[in-house]
Structure formats: structure tokens, C-alpha cells
Amino acid sequence: MARWEPNAAERLTEAAMALFEERGYAKTTVGDIATRAGLTERTFFNHFSDKREVLFAGSEQFVGTIVEAARAAPKAEAPLDVVIAAYASTSDFFEERRPFARRRSALIAAHPELQERELVKMMSVAAALTEVLVQRGASAATATLAAQTGGAILRVGFEQWTRDAKDRSLAFHLRAARRQLEGIVRGRPAGSRRSSTS
């Protein structure tokens, strides 16, 4: 028998999410979270580098998955398609935990402090993808632009995914956003807006 209850980090995350939902991020102290998980404040900081990280723990491994998918893409694939395929590789992962992802996503949307952290994480993924693209032979400028644009597509696609009443996959929404982007870059929105007067 284990000396302590197992899954301390997981318990802390669950406690944190529950408290953030009840009282909000600012009104929840790290001590509150730890107590709710049956631990002490110091133990919280042994598991997470700071209060925000409690919602971003799995992200390192996540970056790894995405980078791996990018590396595995066919040599001939164009940069933007590599990036989108890489993000799409996480689709199944999200599919399995749609409720959790939605809950988490709502918390982040409601708290600027958490948005800050999420944006940095996304940018670090974009940076990693940029490097992969360069290794695949793209110019630095092309790689950066493709990775950054892919990030834009992901933000839009992910938002659609969380809102989608039909529960279509993230990969689906990424493809949709990518297609729409083609029209936008050419100056013709996908909806082919007919605002001849207004």
C-alpha cells in the first residue's frame, strides 16, 4: 500500500478547476487548492512551478506529440499543411476528453491570467514547429510565417470545435479554417459576401 494517496498532481488539478469554477481564479489561494486535495501549499509548488501551471501540466508532452507529427509528414508536403497536420494529430486526444477540454477552455477564456499562459504555450509550439520546418528545408521567413499562420488556424479551429453542437472533430475544423483562409488571403471571403452597397 502506498504511503500517500496516489495521483497528487491530478488531484491538485481537479481541486483547482473546481475552485476556479466556484470562486474564480483570483479568489482561490494555492493553500485552498492544496487543502482541497488533502495536501499542503508547499506540495503544490513541488508539483507545479506556479499557480497557473496547474492547468497546463501536460503541455510538454503535447508539444512532443505535435513536433513528432510534423517530422513524420511527407517530404513533399507544403509547410502550412505540415503544420496543420501536426495540430490535427492531437484531434483524437481531444476527442477522448471533450468535456474536460471544454471545461478547461471555459476557465481559460474567463481568466486573463490563464490566457497569458496559454498563449505562451501556443507560441512555444509554434516556435518548435518553425524549427522543424526549417530542418525540412523551408526558409526561416517561410517557416515562421507558416507556423504562425497555423497558430491562427488552430485558435479559430479550436474555438469552433469547443462550440460545435455537432461534435465534429478538431481535424475537421482545422481543415475548414484552412480552406476559408485561402479565400481570405485572396481577398474573397469563403462566404463570398455580396455586400455590393453596404
For residues 36 and 175, which CB has a smaller minimum distance to its own copies in the complex? 175
Q: Whose Cβ is closer to DNA: residue 16's or residue 88's?
A: 16
In the complex, least distance from residue 160 CB atom to its own copies, rounded to whole angstroms: 7
The residue (of 24 and 183) whose beta carbon lies closer to its own copies is 183
* Min CB(38)–its own copies separation in Å: 31
SS3 annotation, the chain: CCCCCCCHHHHHHHHHHHHHHHHCCCCCCHHHHHHHCCCCHHHHHHHCCCCHHHHCCCHHHHHHHHHHHHHHCCCCCCHHHHHHHHHHCCHHHHHHCHHHHHHHHHHHHHCHHHHHHHHHHHHHHHHHHHHHHHHCCCCHHHHHHHHHHHHHHHHHHHHHHHHCCCCCCHHHHHHHHHHHHHHHHCCCCCCCCCCCCC
- Residues of this chain that interact with its own copies (CB under 8 A) are 75, 78-81, 112, 115-117, 119-120, 123, 137-142, 144-146, 148-149, 151-153, 155-156, 159-160, 177, 180-182, 184-191, 193, 195, 197-198
Given the complex with its own copies, which of 104 and 178 has the nearer CB atom? 178
Q: How far is the CB of 148 from its own copies (least distance, A)?
A: 4
Q: Which does 119 bind (CB under 5 to 8 A by kind): DNA, its own copies, none?
A: its own copies
Binding at 41: pick from DNA, its own copies, none (beta carbon under 5-8 Å per type): DNA
Of 99, 169, 100, 87, the C-alpha closest to 128 is 87
The site partner of 114 among DNA, its own copies, none (C-beta below 5 to 8 Å per kind) is none
| CA pair distance 56, 143, nearest whole angstrom | 26
The partner in contact with residue 72, picked from DNA, its own copies, none with C-beta cut-offs of 5 to 8 angstroms by kind, is none
Binding site for DNA (CB under 7 A): 1-4, 8, 28-31, 34, 38-43, 45-47, 49-52
Closest C-alpha among 23, 26, 81, 14 to residue 54: 14
165 binds, among DNA, its own copies, none (CB under 5 to 8 A by kind): none
